[in-house]
Structure 1
């Protein structure tokens, strides 16, 4: 009798252990510890330059290049506050990346570029980071005259590029 009770206890313990292990293996990924790295593309820098026939803005991205739109806007405002961005110019482009972030999962900034800079290139007069909010990273560019622009992506490392045409300066 004692032997049968011991066997039943052993079977019960083994069954419980196997059941617990099976449940742990079948748990959804969302139940796993939150130590995984974010897959949201990170905006880490913005830079600019001038060439003979165009000014260029380059946005450096860690991860895949997110969907990006470039839109002419009547004025530049900071996301969230709506306050005007103090850049010189009469014409403005808004560059919006989504989904993207300029901060890591701990909320620390990973963006090393300028937040607001006035420039005196043939076409480009200023660049500002205007937002890093709810999965959107936004930049504004300023011009004295209406910009004619083209956009494209470069890879290895990942970059989003805006070229703004101007008369030949070379």
Structure 2
């Protein structure tokens, strides 16, 4: 009699456990689906351009989506992200412009960036620009100058873009 009771208890416990697991799987899957649909897609970097003005040079990075956080940092030299190889731009002073979260490719890995990868420029201050990285949610540009750059950086909206103005 006790053996039958133990078998029944084990069978009932196993059935109950299996039922709980089957109920838990759809609930967590639906929670994940809701979280994925409410999360904003990563902003895409689609172009970089520049222009010379009477008192400043301007770099504009065009975006699709919202404006991500951006840091602009003076660096002693420019290198490509990942490889660490030097970026062949003329200049003695450099700025690194890093956007995060951002991507210059779509979910399939295809590039959405249509700007220059490496461009020498001859403006009053700006001597070159390069796309130096698109990796793990970071897109990085480098800018080259012959003299120390004094700059102001800010986002603009409608359409979304990020601007670096360099005083002449």
Q: TM-score, normalised by structure 1?
A: 0.79
* Runs (5+) with no aligned partner, structure 1: 1-19
Partner residue in 2 for 1:134:
136
What is the CA–CA distance in structure 2 between the aligned matches of 1:65 and 1:80, rounded to whole Å?
Answer: 24
What is the CA–CA distance in structure 2 between the aligned matches of 1:83 and 1:94, rounded to whole Å?
Answer: 15
Q: TM-score, normalised by structure 2?
A: 0.80
Shift in alpha-carbon separation, 1:120–1:154, aligned structure 2, 3 A: same
Q: CA RMSD of the aligned region, Å?
A: 2.4
What is the CA–CA distance in structure 2 between the aligned matches of 1:26 and 1:41, rounded to whole Å?
Answer: 27
1:29 deviation in Å?
Answer: 4.2
The structure with the greater share of residues assigned to helix is 2
Residue of structure 1 aligned with 2:103, choices 90, 93, 101: 101
SS of aligned partner of 1:28: helix
* Runs (5+) with no aligned partner, structure 2: 1-21
User: Where do residues 7-156 of structure 1 align in structure 2 (5 Å cutoff)?
Assistant: 24=26, 27-30=29-32, 39-156=41-158
What is the CA–CA distance in structure 2 between the aligned matches of 1:160 and 1:105, rounded to whole Å?
Answer: 23
What is the CA–CA distance in structure 2 between the aligned matches of 1:129 and 1:97, rounded to whole Å?
Answer: 12
Q: Which runs of 4+ in 1 moved over 2 A?
A: 23-32, 34-38
Shift in alpha-carbon separation, 1:112–1:36, aligned structure 2, 3 A: farther
Partner residue in 2 for 1:9:
none
Aligned length: 146
Contact 1:41 1:61 in 2 (8 A): yes
What do residues 106-144 of structure 1 show as CA deviations (whole Å, max 9, x unaligned)? 100000000000000000000000000010000000000
